[in-house]
């Protein structure tokens, strides 16, 4: 089955914290200095033997703010040590592929997540890659308005 969401786990080796995060297919999520982008996520139905794999690209943001590809390949949830990303500070591995997530879908993926169709490959559904360094305007924020200039006139006219 093709799934619209890949669930990853990551560990920060400095703090020892393990975090689980969901990433929509063809979207990029930053975990520490790493940017994780799943391209496809396959799983078998629950009636069959588990087999979950995802084709993933992982980039590292270096100290001089350059992006360097450190991993491109398949990750297997049943064998997390086989193709996990092992970085000096962060490790990332695939946990599962999912149809739904508590994380809101990016604008381009909302329709795809609600109409997840196992007969269509996720790679055929192009979505724009998110850039975590660029702040996106929030549609719920009020628009910036001009200051109120309707203060009463305090000058006396004679």
Q: What is the pLDDT of residue 25?
A: 96
- 114-152 pLDDT per residue, tens: 444 444 444 433 344 444 444 444 444 444 444 444 455
d(CA 6, CA 14): 25
Q: What is the pLDDT of residue 45?
A: 85
- 85-101 pLDDT per residue, tens: 889 999 999 999 999 98
Q: How high is the mean pLDDT of the chain?
A: 77
Pairs from 140-148 (Cβ < 8 Å, separation ≥ 24): none
* Greater model confidence, 75 or 49: 75
pLDDT higher than 60, residue 106: yes
Beta-sheet strand order (sheet of 85-86) = 18-24, 5-12, 90-98, 85-86
Percent of the chain whose pLDDT exceeds 70: 68
């Amino acid at each position: 089955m093709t799934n619209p969401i890949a669930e990853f786990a990551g560990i920060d080796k400095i703090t020892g914290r393990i975090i689980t995060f969901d990433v929509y297919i063809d979207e990029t999520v930053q975990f520490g200095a790493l940017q994780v982008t799943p391209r496809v996520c396959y799983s078998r139905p629950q009636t069959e033997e588990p087999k979950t794999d995802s084709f993933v690209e992982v980039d590292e943001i270096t100290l001089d703010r350059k992006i360097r590809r450190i991993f491109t390949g398949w990750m297997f949830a049943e064998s997390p040590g086989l193709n996990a990303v092992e970085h000096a500070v962060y490790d990332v591995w695939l946990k599962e592929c999912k149809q739904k997530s508590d994380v809101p879908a990016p604008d381009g993926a909302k329709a795809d997540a609600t109409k997840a169709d196992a007969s269509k490959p996720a790679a055929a559904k192009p979505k724009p890659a998110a850039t975590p360094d660029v702040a996106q305007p929030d549609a719920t924020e009020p628009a910036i308005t001009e200051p109120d200039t309707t203060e009463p006139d305090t000058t006396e006219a004679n």
